[in-house]
Amino acid sequence: MSLEIANLDVSIEGISILRDINLSIPQGQMAGLIGHNGAGKTTLIRAIMGLLPATRGSITFKGQDISKLPSHRRANLRISYMPEDRRLIPDLTVSENMLMPAWANNIKDGEERLKWVYSLMPEIADFGERKALQLSGGQQKLVALGRALIPGRELILLDEPFEGVAPVLARRLSEVIADLRAEGLTVLIAESDDSHSADLVDATWRIERGSVTAGRKDPSASLA
């Protein structure tokens, strides 16, 4: 297994948000995390990243319990995430925004990895020297995905990547995410319904009021 979560509880300011989460993703596979607004998707992603502490249970990555590791040590294990709100720095260029995690985590081959990101998404290579604020919301999503891919080479967690994206760009995002399979990346895609992720993922997990169950892919989703 790449990621294995067992009996995980997470509280925020004393309020129990996630309860007894059990979830696993084999190496190189893609999984969907499907749940309504407020179900706990972002909280789970933040807990995996080490941005929220576990109050119980374990998060194991490639056989190592990472649940007590600080977030920068998890980044060193090549785990990364794409936040729902893109969080680009408006006055920095597209390239600078994507290189930020390489600078922050002392990643030596950031420039090389950036070239690979541009080969994966040639459309953003054209904007490399533009300031992030000059891009449309959808283009910024592609950049945010690219930025997550600079450190994220083993496990990448995508928090509602299709949210608020026009259909053409959503299709393009899907293609780029599908291409990650060839890289052997393990991917978790959070979505409020599986309309975009159903065709991409090997398995689906449903999250509801802080609890996760193994889900089924919605067979009607690919007809949508």
Contacts of residue 61, Cβ cutoff 8 Å, sequence gap at least 6: 2, 3, 4, 74, 77, 79, 154, 155
204 is an interface residue for ligand ATP by CB under 6 A: no
Closer by beta carbon to ligand ATP, 42 or else 95: 42
| Residues from 70 through 129 that contact ligand ATP (CB under 6 A) | 84
SS3 category, 140: helix
In the 8-state DSSP scheme, what is residue 181?
Answer: G
Instruction: Identify the residue among 3, 5, 10, 17 touching ligand ATP (CB under 6 A).
Output: 17
Please give the C-alpha separations between residue 23 and each of 39, 194, 207, 212, in angstroms, as whole numbers: 15, 17, 10, 7
Instruction: Identify the residue among 192, 195, 203, 218 touching ligand ATP (CB under 6 A).
Output: 192
Q: Which stretch binds ligand ATP (CB under 6 A): 13-21, 53-61, 94-102, 120-128?
A: 13-21
- Kindly state the smallest distance separating residue 21's Cβ from ligand ATP, in Å: 12
Residue 119: CB atoms within 10 Å? 9
Is 147:158 a contact under the CB 8 Å cutoff? no
Closer by beta carbon to ligand ATP, 40 or else 215: 40
Instruction: Identify the residue among 7, 12, 115, 224 touching ligand ATP (CB under 6 A).
Output: 12
Is 35:206 a contact under the CB 8 Å cutoff? yes
- Kindly state the smallest distance separating residue 209's Cβ from ligand ATP, in Å: 8
Is 144:87 a contact under the CB 8 Å cutoff? yes
- Kindly state the smallest distance separating residue 173's Cβ from ligand ATP, in Å: 17
Between CA 187 and CA 118 the distance in angstroms is 20
Closer by beta carbon to ligand ATP, 110 or else 161: 161
Contact letters for ligand ATP, residues 20-49 (x by CB under 6 A): ---------------x-xxxxxxx------
Q: Give the total of residues touching ligand ATP (CB under 6 A).
A: 14
Between CA 181 and CA 165 the distance in angstroms is 22
Entry field: residues in the chain: 224
- Kindly state the smallest distance separating residue 118's Cβ from ligand ATP, in Å: 29
Chain contacts with ligand ATP (rule: CB under 6 A): 12-13, 15, 17, 35, 37-43, 84, 192
